[in-house]
Amino acid sequence: MTITNQGTGAAQGSVLAAHGIEKTFFTTTPPAKVLNGINLEVRPGEFTVVMGASGSGKSTLLYCISGMDRPTEGTVKLDGRDLTSFNNKQMSKVRLEEMGFIFQQAYFLDNLNVRDNILLPALKAQPRERAKVEARVDALLKRFGIDHIANHGVTQVSGGQLQRASICRALATEPKVLFADEPTGALNASTSEEVMNALVDVHRDGTTVVMVTHDPACAARADRVVYLRDGLVVDEVALGPWTHEHSEQRSDFLLGWLRDHGF
């Protein structure tokens, strides 16, 4: 296992490159400056975790680099295209077709079954490819072990199954980057483990993942962990590829590193 404190650099090119990201909310008096000039590059296939104390700006950063919100200053490039120059319509097209999202809550429609909840946004993104989208969704349901509940109502399945369904929904359009904001935040330890195993599979299948979490055990699964304080990246650590047999060693190392940062 390699653990280094070196930045991962951008030698291989990045799928996502955020530079000089600042965010000020003008909805409060005085306005709140929440992000203070963040640079973050994510390489294709990389699993990046963002950590930091509550209120340090993790969610705001995730929203600003995923096209859910706009930074006040700075650029966000997806495959070299500057998203901050896009209008709202272009931005929602990019979100729908090229980004995947997982939140703490699944936000599924109660009147649709699990499979239709997953299909709906993918069909909106790719309306002329119904058969292909359906085949992909069925493969994802199988991949994440929830094909047997495909026709169940979303209120009839467990929290872990629902979150695995959110992963399927997020991957149904084959996004360039999967963003996850505290995806295990509402789950107990064993369910959290189940969802993290699924996210490790997502990463192993080649998807680029950027995840916010406050759980060191979840963060230990990532290739690298970035630490935020007061809207700035203060440090990052490269953990290398996750292996189950090194899980305790990684968690212990990461805990020490986090404590050094006052976590």
Asked if 58 is part of the footprint of ligand ADP (rule: CB under 6 A), the reply reads yes
- Residue 248 to residues 164, 184, 208, 245, 259: CA-CA distances in angstroms? 24, 19, 24, 8, 16
Residue 57 binds ligand ADP (CB under 6 A): yes
CB of 54 to Mg ion, least distance (A): 7
CA 49 → CA 97, 126, 220, distances in Å?
A: 23, 29, 9
- Contact between 55 and ligand ADP by CB under 6 A: the answer reads yes
Other Cβ atoms less than 10 A from the Cβ of 214: the count is 16
Among 10, 32, 189, 234, binds ligand ADP (CB under 6 A): 32
Given Mg ion, ligand ADP, none, residue 32, with its beta carbon under 5 to 8 Å by kind, binds: ligand ADP
Query: Which entry of Mg ion, ligand ADP, none binds 36, CB below 5 to 8 A by partner kind?
Result: none
Q: 219-250 burial by CB neighbour count: b if 16+ within 10 A, else e?
A: bbbbbbbbbbbebebeebbbbeebeeebeeeb
The nearest distance, CB 140 to ligand ADP, in angstroms, is 28
DSSP string, 196-210: HHHHHHHHHTT-EEE
Continuous H helices in 114-188: 114-125, 130-143, 159-171
CA distance 153 to 209: 28
Nearer to ligand ADP, 57 or 160 (CB): 57
Q: Which residues bind Mg ion (CB under 5 A)?
A: 59
Residue 245 DSSP label: G
For position 60 contacting ligand ADP by CB under 6 A, the verdict is yes
**CB of 212: closest distance to ligand ADP in angstroms?**
6
Query: Based on CB atoms, which residue is closest to ligand ADP, 20 or 55?
Result: 55
- HSE-CB of 199 using CA atoms within 13 angstroms: 37
Told to check if 52 binds ligand ADP by CB under 6 A, we report yes
**Smaller CB separation from ligand ADP, 52 or 175:** 52
Q: Which does 56 bind (CB under 5 to 8 A by kind): ligand ADP, Mg ion, none?
A: ligand ADP
Write out the residues near ligand ADP by the rule CB under 6 A. Answer: 25, 27-28, 32, 34, 52, 54-60
